Chains A and B, each alone.
Chain A
């Protein structure tokens, strides 16, 4: 199975901060990666698909980048509604595998 190593597992940040979350794949997954946001009691919501494409309706402060097997989600200016858990999902081959999640908390 492809291992997805996500870091950090949690972070504290202030409104307006720039936040970066990384997922590293154990092998080539092309750009078959999505970034998701999940709030308590809610289903995951996809923010980024194809590693770098912004899902329709998602604010442009969210962006994704890719370099080889390393993938990054960036929030350029953290907003109050962005405090949540974020995770990556590789769907290049089954089984899908996920990053462990990053909980973004208020500083």
Chain B
């Protein structure tokens, strides 16, 4: 059974940093592209970033303007998202998703940016 468990979310102040993690199991992580997608009630779903299996190619949403960094550790079956200079508009539920087509998603970790 595929399991994706996100963690690391929480309440932070504007300008602070946060690192999210996604622990993966039940599929061959080291050969899978991975993505982060965020979700809010108001704006819906927004793709954040993606990384290929060997980290050779990395993609980001233009709106992030270099504030976020995606990475992975294939030995640990883990995906990460390091977020800098957080803003109120980054408040969202952050999901990790498997594959170039989003076949499986995790339940998400909630990030709240508020003073």
Size bin of chain A's contact surface = 20 to 34
CB neighbours of B100 from chain A (8 A) = 91
Report the separation of the CA atoms of residues A36 and B39 in the bound assembly, to the nearest whole angstrom: 14
Q: Mark B27-53, 1 if CB is under 8 A from A, else 0.
A: 000000001010000001111001000
Q: Give the CA-CA distance A94 to B104 in the complex, in Å.
A: 18
Q: How many A-B residue pairs have CB under 8 A?
A: 51
A101 in the interface, Cβ–Cβ < 8 Å?
Answer: yes
Distance between Cα atoms of A93 and B101 in the complex (Å): 10
Which of B4, B37, B44, B62 is close to A96, meaning CB atoms less than 8 Å apart? B37
Chain A 5-25 per-residue mask, 1 if CB under 8 angstroms from chain B, else 0: 000000000000000000000
B105, CB-defined interface residue at 8 Å: yes
B107 interface residue (CB < 8 Å to A): yes
Point out the residues of chain A lying under 8 angstroms from B37, CB to CB: 96
Give 1 or 0 for each of A42-74: 1 = CB within 8 Å of chain B CB.
111110010000010000000000000000000
Interface residues in chain A, defined as those with a beta carbon under 8 Å from any beta carbon in chain B: 32, 34, 36, 41-46, 49, 55, 87, 89, 91, 94-98, 100-101
